[in-house]
Amino acid sequence: MSETHAQTVSFVRDTMLPPTPPPMGERGAVKWMRENLFSTPLNVALTLLGLLSIYALISAALPWWLNSVWVAESLSECREIVAASAGEGATGACWAMIRERWHQFLFGFYPPAEWWRPILALGLLLAALAPVLFAGQKRNLTVVLGAVAIYLLVTLSLAATPGTAFGLAMVLILGMLGLAQVQPGKLLWFTVLYPALCFWLLWGGSIWSPIVAMAGFGVLYAVFRLASPFIGLAPAAGAGVVAAVLWWLYIDIPVVNALQIAMPFGLQSINSDQFGGFLLAIVIGVTGITFSLPIGILLALGRQSDMLIVKTLSVGFIEFVRGVPLITLLFTASLLLQYFLPPGTNFDIILRVIILVTFFAAAYLAEVIRGGLAALPRGQYEAADALGLDYWRAQRLIILPQALKVSIPAIVSTFIGLFKDTTLVAFVGLMDPLKGVTQIVRADIDWKGIYWEPYIFVGAIFFIICFGMSRYSMYLEQKLKTDHR
Amino acid sequence: MAMATDVPKDSFRLSMLIYDTRYRSYTIQIVVLVLFAMAVAWLLNNTAQNLAARGKEFDFTFLWQRAGYDIGQQLIPYTNDSNHFRALLVGLLNTLAVAFWGCIFATILGVTIGVLRLSRNWLIGRLMTVYVELFRNIPLLLWILLTYVILSETTPQPRDFRVTDEMAAAGEAPAASMMIFDTVAVTNRGTNIPAPLFERGLGTLDLGFMSLNLTFWAILAVVVGSIWANRRLLAAARAQQEATGDRPVTWWKSILILFAPVIVMLVAMGFHLEIPELRGFNFAGGILVAHSFTALTVALSLYTAAFIAEIVRAGILAISRGQSEAAFALGLRPNRTMNLIILPQALRVIIPPLISQYLNLTKNTSLGIAVSYLDLRGTLGGITLNQTGRELECMLLMMLIYLTISLIISAVMNMYNKSVQLKAR
């Protein structure tokens, strides 16, 4: 009988053995390394190859990095300092170039006395984006707005901001911080007003031009509200648009001039050719991203439409824009628009480039969103029809929220592509951070022959922005995930 | 009593054009068409006025004028006496050359990285992730410029390769040496690679408007013929296998058919490599590959490879584990599982985005402007445009050519895509 054995048979153990630790090869770092690094001969070879390449990279780059020189007047002086401190033949990074020229990489030839304007515009950009990116999340909004407040406090005081502007900016950002605690939803109004504010901050001029231009939208809304009870919604919207266009074409400029004479107030105006560096890249990138999304959605819907003419035009536009390189479109902006517009018109090169970049990104976005639309099951469209929703309501409430959610990763990578493509504006004479500014720096007799440092500096900033965008898209994807897999 | 479905007749009102779904789509389309026609008319009218104001006409005869500029890299004969159309062709071929080599290198590199990123080796997986993130998040222009600058500013001058008598006597090595069995020399002026030469080539055939390099076309014909014969051989073997159950041994016949004719032909024509060597202050002989070409190809391959790696990884991950488990259950070995089960299915996911990457690469060759590479944009859209002042014609023609290339690539790849696509029954 088994239960009696313990008492009757002397060689049967009557207590449990204490558990022994697993053998050396089956635990801790050794096990992990055996499984993840040295599981098969091929893996051993690959690991060794990887270690070898890391070693090669570090042994080449580390001394260079450690011998960095931060204070010098020229590249040759840098090299002398490196040779003096680390011996002949040693290499060292010459970050002194960045120390001397960082402002060109960031602002181009923007006048130094006015640097506080792009700095403020960037801070307010983040503040304006926050309500969109973190809709209604009080905690995240507070964190972002608080960070913007600290950023503005530090950078604006460093940039010798005029007292009035400094005070107004602080009041504005603290007011937003307060509003975020009470009614975070209302912050979106700032986002709506931001484009006009940003335009005025960056280009300067009379404060009345953005205000009067924004008033055009007020005219649109007023006409729409007044006319809709009499002539119906669609004609009223059309009338509103016509009224707004008339406002911008004929009333805008005289009103601005009159107001400017009556109450002169403005900033020193800055020409577009003084823009450069990351200021230019961000202006083009953010404007392009903002406007390409709605246009892309419209094009995608047009391509999915049942109406033959609308569909043909959308397909033609999308395929044409996707079939040619961006550079040819940029050259169109700089060379051909003068042929296509009425004789004598000439408008800002940055604006022209933004328009073409926007169209380019919109065509790519349209294809991405079309993929999202195609991924929706047919039943969603039919259910929307069955509920009696009209086309736009069905799109707005049922179709687009799902289609856009599916295509978030692809949309964001299109945005990243657009932001990277802003560097191509160098070829139409604008001063982008990568080619334009770096060329200027490298053409300087003091810094001739420097190449790693400017490219690493510019590349690092691009990397941070683009990597941040792709991480945000992963966060958004997680947040909006509603399936229960 | 009228049925509910009866449509009230003779009560057409104008507002029904907007509010009745039966008519609304026509209204919208007509409005769109009219607006579009007006916009086109407005653009054409402006263009006509602008052209008239500048005293220009819209014609393409400038293409047959003398070009008068030199092109460094030319795949077909070209001198500065040739016309602009010839320059256009040279540029187009340069564009296609970069695109061709770029696509090949990017595919090889991208597939390798994509597969390695899935490897169970932790270190390699992380390294590949770093590569992909680094190349995807930094503009292509930076990679092109950096590669070019490194190639042209850090490589030795031709005279560094010289071995003087004193150095030979002292047993010193020169400051720089050639690579790959002393056949390739990278200098700050370009990369010197061996040139294929024929002692008894077939010469060229002059057709008046263009000349054909007969040697090249003859070799191409022989290669294509060998491949065709090999396919016939394999088809015959398969037919015999299906008829009798025994597959005849074909591997040595295949090798013979594929390689023997070409080798015989090369020997008959006296094929040999001309190795570049230092003469005076520069290398002579061989082919000088400009750094602009190398930098553009290398940077485009590295950049596009990061995107292809992600596509390949996503494609392999999209195949569920059950597929490989089922294959193992059937007793297939791992490499046959990959070849017969996983890859054919993964290819269906991989190919459509791969096509658009090839298209992107082809369009991105226009960034050659950053390193003064004379591709289509550099010749037609660059020097020709500036010399003749015909912006409108040059830009339109260039866009048309790029559009055609894009459409051809996507058509060819879509055909291939159809052939591997799931046949739904």
- Rounded average pLDDT over A433-454: 85
Nearest-by-CA chain B residue for A336: B392
Interface test with B, best of A424, A453, A466 (most B CBs within 10 A): A424
Of A232, A326, A328, the CB nearest to B398: A328
pLDDT over 70, % of chain A: 98
> Which are the contacts of A86, defined by CB distance < 8 A and separation ≥ 6?
A63, A67, A92
B338: its two tokens: 């990959």
The mean per-residue pLDDT over the stretch A363-391 comes to 89
B1 — pLDDT class (breaks 50, 70, 90): very low
Tens of pLDDT, residues A102-150: 888 888 888 888 888 888 899 999 888 888 888 777 888 888 889 999 9
The answer to whether B367 contacts A434, with C-beta atoms less than 8 Å apart, is no
Q: pLDDT category, B300, cuts 50, 70, 90?
A: very high
Q: Is the model more confident about A2 or about B131?
A: B131
Predicted local confidence at residue B2, as pLDDT? 46
pLDDT digits (tens, 9 = 90+) for A292-340: 999 999 999 999 888 889 999 999 999 999 999 999 999 888 888 888 8
The pLDDT tens digits of the residues spanning B247-264 come to 888 888 888 888 888 888
- Asked if A325 and B119 come within 8 Å (Cβ–Cβ), the reply is no
Give the fold, CATH level 3, of B62-158+289-425.
MetI-like fold (1.10.3720)
Roughly how many angstroms between the first and final C-alpha of chain B, as a whole number?
Answer: 50
- Does the pLDDT value for residue A7 go beyond 80? no
Q: Does A459 touch chain B (CB under 8 A)?
A: yes
Distance between CA atoms of residues B364 and B296, nearest Å: 9
Distance from CA of A323 to the nearest CA of B (A): 5
pLDDT at residue B68 in the model: 81
Q: CB B137 to CB A37 under 8 A? A: no
Q: Does A228 touch chain B (CB under 8 A)?
A: no
- Whether A328 and B370 lie within 8 Å, measured CB to CB: no
Whether the CB-CB separation of A105 and A99 falls below 8 Å is answered with no
For B89-143, how does the pLDDT look when each residue is reduced to its tens digit (9 = 90+)? 889 999 999 999 999 999 999 999 998 888 888 899 999 999 999 999 999 999 9
Domain boundaries, chain B: 62-158+289-425, 199-269
What domains can you pick out in chain A, each with its CATH number? Answer: 1-64 (no CATH), 102-110+270-485 (1.10.3720.10), 115-192 (no CATH), 207-266 (no CATH)
Residue B424 banded pLDDT, cuts 50, 70, 90 = low
Residue in chain B closest to A421 (alpha carbons) equals B139
Residue found under tokens 């179709």? A399
Residues 295-324 of A with CB under 8 A from B: 306-310, 313, 319-320, 322-324
For A42-95, the pLDDT digits (tens) are 888 989 999 999 999 999 888 888 888 888 888 888 888 888 887 777 788 888
Are the C-beta atoms of residues B73 and B190 closer than 8 Å to each other? no
**Selected residues 337-356 of chain A with any CB under 8 Å from a CB in chain B:** 338-343
Read off the pLDDT of residues A393-402 as tens digits, 9 standing for 90 and up. Answer: 888 898 998 8
Cβ count near B327 (within 10 Å): 18
B177: number of CA atoms within 13 Å, CB side? 8
Q: Which residues contact A356 (CB under 8 A, 6 or more apart)?
A: A329, A330, A332, A333
pLDDT tens by residue, A382-392: 999 899 888 88
Query: Taking CB atoms and an 8 Å limit, are A466 and B46 in contact across chains?
Result: no
Q: Is A229 on the interface with B (CB under 8 A)?
A: no
Contacts of B32 in chain A (CB under 8 A): 307, 309-310, 313
Helix B84-117 to helix B343-364 angle (10° resolution) is 140
pLDDT > 80? residue B355: yes
| Closest by Cβ to A451, choosing from B18, B153, B395 | B153
> Is B136 in CB contact (< 8 Å) with chain A?
yes
On the question of pLDDT at A284 being above 60, the answer is: yes
* pLDDT of A485 over the 60 cut: no
The pLDDT value recorded for residue B402 is 92
Arithmetic mean of pLDDT over chain A: 86
Long-range CB pairs of B108-112, under 8 A, 24+ apart, other chains included: B109/B301, B109/B302, B109/B305, B109/B308, B109/B309, B110/B304, B110/B305, B110/B306, B110/B307, B110/B308, B110/B309, B110/B311, B110/B312, B111/B308, B111/B309, B111/B312
On the question of pLDDT at A2 being above 90, the answer is no
- A vs B, Cβ pairs < 8 A, gives 156
Contacts of residue A338 in chain B, CB cutoff 8 Å? 50
Hey, what are A485's tokens? 């897999």
- pLDDT over threshold 60, residue B425: no
- Among partner residues B120, B367, B402, which is closest to A324 by beta-carbon distance? B402
Question: pLDDT averaged over chain B?
Answer: 84
pLDDT reported for residue B206: 67
Task: Determine the pLDDT at residue B209.
Answer: 61
Q: Is B35 on the interface with A (CB under 8 A)?
A: no
Local structure of B191: helix, strand or coil: strand
